[in-house]
Chains A and B, each alone.
Chain A
Amino acid sequence: MASAVAYDPYDDIDNNPFSEPRETTTIPQESGAHETDDPSETSTPTVQHENPQSDEMSLELVPERKANKFQLVVKVTGLERIGTFTNKKENPTLKFDVSTNLPTFRKPQHRNIKKTMTEFQNLFTFLNGSIPETFVPALPVAHTNYGISNSEDYYKTVKNFQEWFDRIAADPLILRSEEIAFFIESDFNTYTPVGKSKLPVSGLKRKTLKQLTPPFDECLELAEFRPLVKSIRHLSQDIQLKLLKLSKLRKSVSQDENAVGKGFKEMAQDPSQTQSHSKFYIKFGKTLTAVGDIDSVMATLDVATLYDGLEWIAQDTYVVKESLTNRHFLMRDLLQAQQNSRFRQEQARKLRAKRDVSPLKVDDAIRALKVATTTEHELTLKLRRITANMLLQKREWLEWYDKTLINSIKEYTVRKIEYERKKLSLLERIRSDVRAVDEAGGLSRLGRGTGVVRDGSTATKPSQSAQGDSWTNDRRSRAFEPSVLKTEFDASLENEQGVDEITEDQYTLDARSAAHLLGSSSF
């Protein structure tokens, strides 16, 4: 028998009409499980629930996470850079609108708020010091490697800040900090932290303490998390370094490629060459130069996409790592407090064993014991709260890390493809010239297709089109962008050709001016 479907030994079981369909039995169970999870899910929708019980417990410890009643919606609307290319490029001014139902705010709507980068930095340092339970998202870079004052940089920075605000707004602990309100409701360029916050340990002491072996951590997950984060940081910095080196090299290669192109152009000036050839050399040289330029653009884009993405990751990992270190310090404190209370207890017991004691001493001892136990208790609670929140945060953070990394790789790839395609179209454009200049070239090397090339049917057609790429049958997952057939350097290639093209260009409009002419702004 010739059946297209492979024989499946379990086929008959499935076909049994009397057997209960599997789906129907499994689905209710799953949905039931879903329902039980639901209340917790409403508070932390992004967290996955492998162990709902510990989540319940942690939610008790972190009651802010339970009810998702407060909202902060920030929309970054714009970016201003005061200053020039060289001056103050680190200090952009963000414009954004806020709408919230937080009681700490005086009014629910705020429009057109402007904040400088320094203000953001102040807020960040405060938050980082005042909320030990959470990983405060690191600020995005103030300027991208696209270079300053271009649209790419603008959109990217705005997008980054939007993402930062979203992350802030997603964290209920940060939301409840009234400093957010202070920050947003203060005037432009006047915000300084109102409350006091400082890291538990700082300066030299912090450095020395970090050298010690971390205290025993009963929460294995977090104990493992810190070294992981640390190596992520180190590795991404390493990658950044390599990437930078790569792009520097690529830039210098592109310069040398330009030099080669120039060499060809100069050769064209040689009077001994015939006219047609010198033209051809010029064109070839120009193409090589343009290819070199594209390489240099690619180098910039490499840095601007992947490097910047990794930069944020590296900074964020630093914050995460330090928060985890702070937790270690807290654990140390707790150990000390435990020791202290034990010591106090010992003292009290000793006092009780003595026959004649002054009541004054007893009072003292009892008070000290009470203090010691309360601090111990407080610290224990605090640590448990921190641990619980961090466990939740860890998952969120890992997700964010994954997303950011993948996004920047994606961006990198997309730009790479775009410019490699441009390079290809550049090279292909000169192909017909190379063929035309040489009757013995191309297919005629093999003894066929002599006259065909001249007509330019096959050779001049670009291999990339909306129908896909000529060298493969696969359809691309993304739509074809006709922009790849043009490059920024076309002008340099064509400038010696006729005036008519230029006049043609005069009447072409870009989208913005077209919209303007039509009287309706598209923005």
Chain B
Amino acid sequence: MDYDDELGASVWDDQNNDSNVRDGGELATTFATLSAGKGDQLEHSEWNDDAGIKPQAEPIESEGDKKDLMLSLAPEEDPLTGLSVPEPMVTSEKGETLFGDVNTSPLEVSENDSQKSTTTEEVSPLRKPYAKPQKLFSSARLRRHPLTEVQKADLFEDPLASNSADIKEDEFVEESLEYDGAPEESKDILQQMEAPLFKISPRKNLSSTPSIKKVVQNAGANSQFDVASMEAVEINTPCSNYTIEVVDPLKVGDLTFAHVEYTICSKSEKLNPPEVRVQRRYRDFRWLYRQLQNNHWGKIIPPPPEKQAVGRFKDDFIESRKLQMERMLNKIAQDKDLQDDADFMMFLQSQNFGQDSKVREHLTGSNASSDSNDISEIHISAIELLGQEDAVNVMKNGGLDESQKGFMNISFASLPKYTESDTFFVEQKQAIDILEEQLKQLCKSLEIVDTQRNDLASVTEEFANTIKSLEELEVSKKGSEILVNFADVHLRIKESLQRSTMQEALTLGVTIDEYMRSLGSIRAVFNQRSKLGYYAVVVEHDLLKKRTQLERNNHKGPSDKVEALNKDSRVLEDRHYKIKTKWQEIGATIRKELRRNDFDKMVDFRNSIEIFLESSIETQKECIELWETFYQNNL
């Protein structure tokens, strides 16, 4: 059996060596021995310290090896994510090892080989059985989600393997400790025993996480990044392969029904023909917003621009709206959950949007086209909440809270009220109110600055013209020459002022505007939660009422009424459970979303501030240059 194993191993090695020889030759192997001999720990720390130096130190290495190395190092953040997420994830990653083994020649085997060559032969037999079980484990683990008997079975097989791991690869043990601290799950001795195994596979795993991410993670681990932003980084990895452009705003229709249609060009692998052009109007964007809101409760949907009644057909308004809508679509496309949304896909592709949107709306009960002005207002679809059948019943009765409204919509009983139990949400809500106030203030002052700057520009022009008219008197040659140039400088400064004002509006203004609108979206999310909470309370109230009725009737003995009541209360219970879980779900989503949103906004803000700053520095330089030139030439 050993022999067989050796044969198998050598076959692997041969392949590997071949590739090595082809690419890098001996160096690669020596490096492999080095890495194996010194141990991963060293290597690991080195990478942590200066990720930049290593790759430079070994450019001689073949690219293949490098990649392997990178990849072998890259997953080092994977165990973190993997372990922070419950077990099953880890096992599935183990499955990847298998793949790696099969598809590419993994470092793992070559290392084993090199170790084999360096260490004594007595050890190698110990090692080989280990190398094989490892594969077995991983394949087994793929099947095994619950950690019960199978695990124990593993243990029985393990002793040798674990011993060998302890002897030769203590560094793994150390790391296992390190990792154990994080998940706090594997305090079990059994699991600790297993831990090294866990480490081996993900470490040498050929998972395909981008190396940049790893650097970020490392930096984070070293300099104690706050957890929130780290998670946000994870959340934030852009996974968009969409390119969406909103172009060609076109005024359509006659005087009474005039509206502007925008053409949306989207390119993506996910779309059926990978390139689509469709016409949409503003109303459709709002529909999309509502629909997405309905489909993803608790998610902060990138909001569409505000409604505007007057001046809808002005060019600069259309232009800015176009920009805002494009941003909205791109934001949606970048979101992992939203980009695959059926309605979004439909929005991007459907040539018969009017019909399709109606159909979808009816199916989901989103009520998306009856759209109020306020982004933060929401509609909770009963279908989404309770499922198809129950929702039909509820709708028939006129909605969930209908029972509370008595005859002629006058309620006699005091309405149950929903109070937010979680202080987190209360605080967040307050914070958002404050933030909105501040942003409004900021926006207002920015707007004022904008208009004032435009005034300034026009007055500067007047000023320059007056100077020019003084020049036209031609009192003296030199004087009038200076005056001409003086006026010219002012005109140029006016231009640059206008440009910088526009730039400011486009960067800071747009960002703040978007931030404000997204606050509306956040508010909508809170509204969803409180509405759901309200429903839960209402249904609970109903349920209690039904139960007391039931009890009263139970005393009288079994009858049709009791049965009906029983059924009702069961339905209500069911409903209550559903709503309650949804309510809890939404709470969790909101927390996550808020964190993500905060991070996104922060990044947006930072970006726009940076752009703003850079552009104003450039403007400033231009201004200085203008004056210096004037000074040099004339004075």
Which A residues fall within an 8 A CB radius of B? 228, 231-232, 235-236, 238-239, 242-243, 245-246, 249-250, 252-253, 256-257, 259-260, 263-264, 266-267, 270-274, 277, 284, 398, 401-402, 405-406, 409-410, 413-414, 416-417, 420-421, 423-424, 427-428, 430-431, 434-435, 437-442, 451, 463, 469, 471-472, 474, 476-478
Interface pair A239/B470, CB less than 8 Å apart: yes
Report B565 CB to chain A, min CB distance, Å: 48
User: Is A476 in contact with B463, judged by CB distance below 8 angstroms?
Assistant: no
Q: A246, B607: Cβ atoms under 8 Å?
A: no
Interface: B616 (CB within 8 A)? yes
Contact of B157 with A by CB under 8 A: no
Q: Do the beta carbons of B624 and A421 come within 8 Å of each other?
A: yes
Please name all residues of chain A whose beta carbon is closer than 8 Å to the beta carbon of B476 when the two chains form the complex.
398, 401-402
Closest B residue, CB atoms, query A249: B456
CA distance A437 to B602 in the complex (A): 10
Contact B438 A256 (CB under 8 A): no
* Chain B residues numbered 612-635 whose CB sits less than 8 Å from any CB in chain A: 613-614, 616-617, 620-621, 623-625, 627-628, 630-632, 635
Given contacts A267-B435, A410-B635, A441-B606, 20 further A-B contacts (CB under 8 A): A232-B473, A242-B463, A242-B466, A246-B460, A249-B455, A250-B456, A271-B431, A272-B431, A272-B435, A414-B631, A416-B627, A417-B631, A424-B624, A435-B610, A438-B607, A441-B610, A463-B621, A471-B621, A471-B625, A476-B628
Tell me the smallest distance from the CB of A327 to a CB of chain B, in Å.
Answer: 20
Q: Which residues of A contact B434 (CB under 8 A)?
A: 270
**Prevailing SS type, chain B contact patch:** helix
Q: Does B448 contact A (CB under 8 A)?
A: yes
Do A441 and B452 touch across chains, with their CB atoms under 8 A apart?
no
Stretch at the interface among B54-62, B147-155, B407-415, B478-486: B478-486
Residue of A nearest to B599 (CB): A274
Instruction: Tell yes or no: B267 within 8 A of A by CB.
Output: no
**Is there contact, CB below 8 Å, between A242 and B607?**
no
Structural contact, B610 and A256, CB atoms closer than 8 A? no
Contact A242 B449 (CB under 8 A): no
**What's the least CB distance linking B215 to chain A, in Å?**
9
Decide: A277 near B602, CB < 8 A? Known: A235-B473, A463-B621: yes
* A245 to B460 CA separation, bound complex (whole angstroms): 9
Whether the Cβ atoms of B435 and A420 lie closer than 8 Å is: no
Q: Which of B3-11, B392-400, B439-447 lines the interface with chain A?
A: B439-447
**24 contacting pairs across A/B (C-beta < 8 A):** A232-B475, A235-B469, A239-B463, A246-B456, A246-B463, A249-B455, A256-B448, A260-B445, A263-B439, A266-B438, A267-B438, A271-B431, A272-B428, A274-B602, A277-B602, A398-B476, A401-B476, A409-B483, A416-B627, A424-B621, A431-B614, A431-B617, A441-B610, A463-B621
Interface centre among B476, B598, B609 (most CB of A within 10 A): B609
What's the Cα separation between A428 and B624 when bound, in Å? 14
B610 to chain A, nearest CB (A): 5
| Minimal beta-carbon separation of B496 from chain A (angstroms) | 11
Tell me, rounded to whole Å, the shortest Cβ–Cβ distance linking A272 to chain B: 5
Count of B residues near A, CB < 8 Å? Answer: 59
Question: Is B52 an interface residue, CB under 8 A from the partner?
Answer: yes
* Complex CA–CA separation, A238 to B603 (angstroms): 49
B80 located at the interface, meaning its Cβ lies under 8 Å from any Cβ of chain A in the complex: no
Smallest CB gap from B470: residue in A? A235
CA of A471 to CA of B448, assembled, Å = 32
Residues of B near any A CB (own CB < 8 A) = 52, 216, 226, 228-229, 428, 431, 434-435, 438-439, 441-442, 445-446, 448-449, 452-453, 455-456, 459-460, 462-463, 466-467, 469-470, 473, 475-476, 478-479, 482-483, 486, 598, 602-603, 606-607, 609-610, 613-614, 616-617, 620-621, 623-625, 627-628, 630-632, 635
Residue of A nearest to B441 (CB): A263
Q: Is the CB of A417 within 8 A of B624?
A: yes
- By a CB distance below 8 angstroms, the chain B residues around A257 are 449
Instruction: Provide the bound-state CA to CA distance between A450 and B207, in Å.
Output: 25
- A274–B598 Cα distance when bound, in Å, is 10
B482 and A406 form a contact (CB under 8 A): yes
Question: A471 — which chain B residues lie within 8 A by C-beta?
Answer: 621, 625
Interchain CB contact under 8 A, B607 and A259: no
A420 touching B456 by the CB < 8 A rule? no
Whether the Cβ atoms of A434 and B613 lie closer than 8 Å is yes
Cβ of A474: which chain B residues have Cβ within 8 Å of it?
A: 632
> Which residue of chain A lies nearest to B464 when distances are taken between CB atoms in the complex?
A242
Give CA–CA (A417, B463) in the complex, Å.
Answer: 19
In the bound complex, what is the Cα–Cα distance between A32 and B353 (angstroms)?
Answer: 96
Contact A238 B613 (CB under 8 A): no
Shortest Cβ gap from A417 to chain B (Å): 5
Which residues of the partner chain A approach B460 to less than 8 Å between Cβ atoms? Answer: 246
A264 to B511 Cα, complex, angstroms: 13
Task: Give the nearest-CB partner of A415 in chain B.
Answer: B627
Q: Are A472 and B625 in contact, CB atoms less than 8 angstroms apart? A: yes
- Bound CA–CA A361/B344 (angstroms): 119
Tell me the minimal C-beta distance from A361 to chain B in angstroms. 57
The 9 closest A-B pairs by CB, nearest first: A263-B442, A259-B445, A424-B620, A235-B470, A242-B463, A253-B452, A256-B449, A410-B635, A402-B479
Chain A residues, CB < 8 A from B620:
420, 423-424, 427
In the complex, what residue of chain B is closest to A484 when comparing beta carbons? B624
Please indicate the chain B residues that have their CB under 8 angstroms from the CB of A405 in the complex.
479, 482-483
- Cβ–Cβ < 8 Å partners of A231 in chain B: 473
- Complex Cα gap A256–B442 (Å): 10
**Are B613 and A427 in touch, CB under 8 angstroms?**
yes
Residues in A neighbouring B617, C-beta threshold 8 A: 424, 427-428, 431
- Closest approach, in angstroms, between the C-beta of A105 and any C-beta of chain B? 37
Complex alpha-carbon distance, A132 and B469, angstroms: 31
Tell me if B466 and A245 are in contact (CB < 8 A).
no
CB neighbours of B621 from chain A (8 A)? 424, 463, 469, 471
Q: In the complex, are the beta carbons of B635 and A409 less than 8 A apart? A: yes
**Known contacts A274-B229, A424-B617: does B631 contact A478 (CB below 8 Å)?**
yes
Whether A242 lies near B459 (C-beta < 8 A) is: yes
| A314 CB to nearest chain B CB (Å) | 12
The reply to whether B606 and A266 form a contact with Cβ atoms under 8 Å apart is: no
Say whether A406 contacts B624, CB under 8 Å: no
Could you say which residues of chain A place their CB within 8 Å of the CB of B459?
A: 242, 245-246, 249
Distance between B507 CB and nearest chain A CB, rounded to angstroms: 13
Asked whether B635 lies within 8 Å of A270 as measured between CB atoms, the reply is no
Q: Note all chain A residues with C-beta closer than 8 A to B607.
A: 438, 441
* Chain B residues closer than 8 Å to A427, beta-carbon distance: 613, 616-617, 620
Asked if A437 and B470 sit within 8 Å, CB to CB, the answer is no
The chain A residue with its CB closest to the CB of B598 is A272
Residues of A within 8 A of B449 (CB): 253, 256-257, 260
Taking a contact as CB atoms under 8 Å apart, the answer to whether A476 and B441 are in contact is no
Establish whether residues A434 and B431, one from each chain, have CB atoms under 8 Å apart when the complex forms. no
Q: Which residues of B contact A423 (CB under 8 A)?
A: 620
Residues on the A chain within 8 Å of B226, using CB: 274
Q: Give the contacting residue for A409; candidates B216, B463, B482; CB below 8 A.
A: B482
Which residues of B are found within 8 Å of A284, using beta-carbon distances?
Answer: 609
Pick the contact of B632: A228, A421, A477 (CB < 8 A): A477
State whether A236 touches B470 (Cβ < 8 A): yes
| B52 touching A266, Cβ below 8 Å | no
What residues of chain B lie closer than 8 Å to A277, measured between beta carbons? 602
- A264–B442 contact, CB under 8 A? yes
Distance to closest chain A CB from B627 (angstroms): 5
